[in-house]
Structure 1
Amino acid sequence: MKFLQALTALDIIALAIFILAWTAYEPMLKAVARGKGVINTDMTVIRAAWMRNMAGRENKFMDGQLLGHTLNSASFFASSNLILIAGAAGVLFGGEGAFRSASSLMVLKTSSRLLFEAQIALVLLALARGLLDFIWAIRQMNYCLAAIGAAPDTEDKSLQRAYGDTTARLLNPALSSFNRGVRGYYFALAAAAWLFGPGAFIATTLAALTLLFTRQRKSPSAKAVGDLRRMIEKL
């Protein structure tokens, strides 16, 4: 009850918009895409083709190197998340001193210590969710590396295709988790905007959502990935 009393009506609306955007983004993207037209769905087809080619290659060193590079990127982001989480947690548990320091900044709009702690906690929650996604992505990529190393040396085309498709079922969820982790930065930034007031919170949340959708559907990369998918499907 104390938490709700610390919020204005606009704060509650802003928080509701954020939660809706954060939780509904992926289902909305899938509904809009209907299997095609966005980077995430088109890339599942491209990765499946990669894994089928991997299964038919005699030398799979390159495939392991490519996936290892992605694994290093996920590890870097996970480490960065830990640093940001430690910083946010330091402010959250900094007590009255942290609140007074923040309140002295004219640009910040925080009316009470309880509201300030809620604002920082939301940033921390977004970062923590991203960290968990990165950790799960790293684990799944390690499973995929094992699958690449275990690929049978066979001339049976049907077995190669089946093995590649099954390995893609490991790789695609791994990269989806990685994408969710990166997306967590967008929503962590939106959550941080709450410190500048509910109006800035709403605007930044909607801006992050628009940016994510635009990059998925309208960016040059989205168009190129869509063209690649269509080429692969014609083969």
Structure 2
Amino acid sequence: MLLRNAAHMELFDQLRYFTVLDGLAVIYLLSAWGILGYVIENPPKKRISTSVLVADYRREWMVHMITRKPRIFDATVLATLREGTSFLASACLIAIGGGLAAISNAERLSGVARDLALDAPAIIWEVKILLALFFITNAFLKFIWSNRLFGYCGVVMASVSNDEADPQALPRARKAGELNITAARAFNAGIRGIYFALGALSWLLGPEGLLLGGTLVIFIMLRREFASTSREILLSDET
């Protein structure tokens, strides 16, 4: 009992290295992650995001697919999209394994901290790495789900007739389009997770580093979704 109490006291003593600013920085990053995802997927009508613009092209793709013979082009594009989700899911899994390996080796983690002249117990670095692993794990799950949705989309695409007179052709093509958009939404969420995981790693430099890293990630994401050259290209034939 005394040993357990002593262990608890030691843990609380180690956690004192976390400050109020650390807590605020973590809340800032998590809030930005959630709010940014919502704004990108539900942008204001006056400033549509790149992701939403591409979603309209996905719908048109599925409609034009009805009369395309053969559909090798459509199958190739869909296969490429699935390969992208598979690759990133595998990369996330490797990153998760590396992060867990670093956490499990507290002695090496402490040695790295000493080499960087950072004075803090190993549990502090473990918690900071866990924050990055949270985003990576979320990204991994999103990529897996995106891959599966692209698979569903492929099945529905295969059921679409080439005959425009078929009353089921257009409704099924639209279903395939919505599945494709949903898969892309999950894929984009996974990409955001990777960005925020990289931002979370800046916590290793302290709460100020986390605030700076999180702000940089927000700036990059907002620029690419609302002020990028690719967005202007997508809008160029609409004006």
Instruction: Say whether the fold is shared (TM-score over 0.5).
Output: yes
Which of 212, 217, 239 does residue 208 from structure 1 map onto? 217
Provide the rounded CA distance (Å) in 1 between the counterparts of 2:221 and 2:211. 15
- Is contact 2:142-2:189 (8 Å) kept? yes
- Deviation of the 1:202 alpha carbon: 0.4
Query: 1:103 is matched by which residue type in structure 2?
Result: A
Tell which structure's C-alpha radius of gyration is larger. Answer: 2
Local SS of the residue matching 1:21: helix
1:137 corresponding residue in structure 2: 146
- Is contact 1:133-1:177 (8 Å) kept? yes
Structure number with the bigger relative contact order (C-alpha 8 A, sep ≥ 6) is 1
Provide the rounded CA distance (Å) in 1 between the counterparts of 2:203 and 2:197. 10
1:56 corresponding residue in structure 2: 67
Provide the rounded CA distance (Å) in 2 between the counterparts of 1:18 and 1:81. 20
More off after superposition, 143-152 vs 122-131: 143-152
1:148 corresponding residue in structure 2: 157
- Deviation of the 1:70 alpha carbon: 1.0
- Deviation of the 1:93 alpha carbon: 1.4
1:106 corresponding residue in structure 2: 116
Query: 2:113 is matched by which residue type in structure 1?
Result: S
| 1:142-183 superposed Cα distances (whole Å, 9 cap, x missing partner) | 111111222123232764332221111110010111111111
Unaligned 5+ runs, structure 1: none
Local SS of the residue matching 1:153: coil
Which of 44, 47, 52 does residue 41 from structure 1 map onto? 52
Local SS of the residue matching 2:152: helix
The answer as to 2:55 corresponding to 1:79 is no
The answer as to 2:128 corresponding to 1:119 is yes
Provide the rounded CA distance (Å) in 2 between the counterparts of 1:122 and 1:90. 15
1:89 corresponding residue in structure 2: 100
Provide the rounded CA distance (Å) in 2 between the counterparts of 1:75 and 1:35. 35
The answer as to 2:208 corresponding to 1:199 is yes
Query: 2:109 is matched by which residue type in structure 1?
Result: F
1:188 corresponding residue in structure 2: 197
The 3 A distance-change label for structure 1 pair 74 and 136 is same
- Is contact 2:156-2:173 (8 Å) kept? no
The answer as to 2:37 corresponding to 1:14 is no
Q: How many residues align?
A: 228
- Deviation of the 1:58 alpha carbon: 2.9
C-alpha root-mean-square deviation of aligned residues, in Å?
Answer: 2.1
The answer as to 2:236 corresponding to 1:227 is yes
1:67 corresponding residue in structure 2: 78
Provide the rounded CA distance (Å) in 1 between the counterparts of 2:224 and 2:115. 34
- Is contact 1:191-1:201 (8 Å) kept? yes
